[in-house]
Structure 1
């Protein structure tokens, strides 16, 4: 249990670590009994070991097929109750029409059953969307529904979350969100030679593109680069995936008169200032050379 928030269901892993976070097995969590069989010794044959190795892999199941918070579990269970009720009602109606088949020039039970099948598919899709949206917005992670299995009326939220976890690459939600932010910043660096570290400063050449605008204003035409960079700065500074307002305002304002002034952040512990130049260079200043070097290596492909 992590900070008293994580719950384990299905099979509790026999080991004590999951991903990069140590998970202590709670003493008060009941687990299902698992009938463990002693592994059979391998038999020698002319060709080596006489066993189906693929069958061995098929028999392996990932233990503890999910760890989710109390809030996640409550959200999922509430929507499970709703989908179960909807599925039961639709199946009951379908069975009625199967048992009482009829048709005339206006209507047939065959068409009604078809309509109910479409309604069932729609309700399942809506259920999956709600679960996906919850985890995507709560943890700021990317989830690709096209990689999910095909569900039927037996669907449970555990199935959906299992498919979500398969996309976390062995990381928990927080680790995955952090890695996605870092990767987004790295992808804005098309040439690592553009990144320079000198003393407290990290400079990135040709990173932005400014055009003269009306009344002395300037338009930043690479605002997405700046938004990703400042989101990375926030993660580096605070460990948070949501950019604070003072950084978000700069990232979201494409047109400003003060683009080439120095933006100072004296209230931060690691990051000190941001300065943009007309030639597109961006200069980040940190509290120490070690911090500047760490940020450049972790976020900017600097070697």
Structure 2
């Protein structure tokens, strides 16, 4: 099951915003947080009933230390909830911003965290937001020196790759992010997946390798995914993508590259 299938399998019932798996994880984290707060309350009762104050130890020292622990674990609770959705749905969520907005929120419940997560989505579903981010990152791969052309079924992008050269070994070097974002964009264009497909992962690994190459990276690389036949890299930085037909090349250029320099 690919990531798109996972998104399509999500069933929201009783107007809940998250699926059963998400809720289980959130409730498990909530239970751990509640347990810590309950322990804090018991500790406060114990300290009040057993006052100690000497040169080595005092109730105030213990309480201050535990308050510091609570502060750290509060941030950890919030981060773990956010990371779950960030990693599962491949969306960017500002952990520090959300954490700051929850300062002073007591008692803290995972629903409060969800409120801010959904505010960040701006009315989109997780999948819609993930797709939006994939396309946005793909549109940022061009430099001012890049030129995009579609000839028949081929889309070419000049000056996309700035190779790092070690002896006679070429690797993507500083173009690492651009190639990564291009491959994820092509993966989504091919089948709706917001993660890099296996064939692109393998090719990306070869392109990133600064040591002995297992393949000739400048030969035509067969992709064999839906809509995309192959891809070719050139030493001058050009990348040429071969689609199944010209309409796909034009569509990818319009929706994922948005070339208008």
Q: Give me the TM-score of the superposition, normalised by structure 1.
A: 0.74
Q: For the residues of structure 2 that align with 1:121 and 1:84, how far apart are their CA atoms?
A: 14
1:109 pairs with 2:59: yes
1:258 pairs with 2:208: no
Q: Structure 2 unaligned runs (5+)? A: 1-6
Instruction: Quote the residue 1:178 is aligned against.
Output: 131
Q: For the residues of structure 2 that align with 1:192 and 1:298, how far apart are their CA atoms?
A: 20
Q: Structure 1 unaligned runs (5+)? A: 9-28, 30-63
Instruction: Quote the residue 1:207 is aligned against.
Output: 160
Q: Deviations over 1:166-199 (max 9, x none)?
A: 2212211111111111111111113386111222
- Describe the SS at the equivalent of 1:208: coil
Instruction: Quote the residue 2:29 is aligned against.
Output: 79
Q: For the residues of structure 2 that align with 1:300 and 1:248, how far apart are their CA atoms?
A: 20
Instruction: Quote the residue 1:217 is aligned against.
Output: 169
**Residue 70 of structure 1: how far off its partner (Å):** 0.8
**Contact 2:143/2:159 (CA < 8 Å) preserved in 1?**
no
**Contact 2:93/2:117 (CA < 8 Å) preserved in 1?**
yes
- Describe the SS at the equivalent of 2:12: strand
Q: Cα–Cα, structure 1 residues 3 and 247, in superposed 2: closer, same or farther, change >3 Å?
A: closer
**Contact 2:200/2:223 (CA < 8 Å) preserved in 1?**
no
Q: Cα–Cα, structure 1 residues 294 and 166, in superposed 2: closer, same or farther, change >3 Å?
A: same
Q: Cα–Cα, structure 1 residues 3 and 293, in superposed 2: closer, same or farther, change >3 Å?
A: closer
**Pairing of 1:19-38 with structure 2 (within 5 A):** 29=14
Instruction: Quote the residue 2:47 is aligned against.
Output: 97
**Residue 265 of structure 1: how far off its partner (Å):** 2.4
Choose which of 119, 126, 131 in structure 1 pairs with 2:81: 131
**Residue 4 of structure 1: how far off its partner (Å):** 7.0
1:237 pairs with 2:187: no
Instruction: Quote the residue 1:289 is aligned against.
Output: 246
- Describe the SS at the equivalent of 2:18: strand
Instruction: Quote the residue 2:72 is aligned against.
Output: 122
**Residue 224 of structure 1: how far off its partner (Å):** 2.3
Q: Cα–Cα, structure 1 residues 293 and 248, in superposed 2: closer, same or farther, change >3 Å?
A: same
1:5 pairs with 2:10: yes
Name the structure where helix makes up a greater proportion of residues: 2
Choose which of 235, 246, 249 in structure 2 pairs with 1:278: 235
**Contact 1:189/1:301 (CA < 8 Å) preserved in 2?**
no
**Contact 2:146/2:160 (CA < 8 Å) preserved in 1?**
no
**Pairing of 1:158-173 with structure 2 (within 5 A):** 158-173=111-126
Q: For the residues of structure 1 that align with 2:164 and 2:96, how far apart are their CA atoms?
A: 40
Q: For the residues of structure 2 that align with 1:138 and 1:154, how far apart are their CA atoms?
A: 27
**Residue 277 of structure 1: how far off its partner (Å):** 1.0
**Equivalences, count:** 245
Higher relative contact order (CA 8 A, sep 6+): 2
Structure 1 segments (4+ residues) deviating >3 Å: 2-8, 98-102, 211-214
Instruction: Quote the residue 1:249 is aligned against.
Output: 202
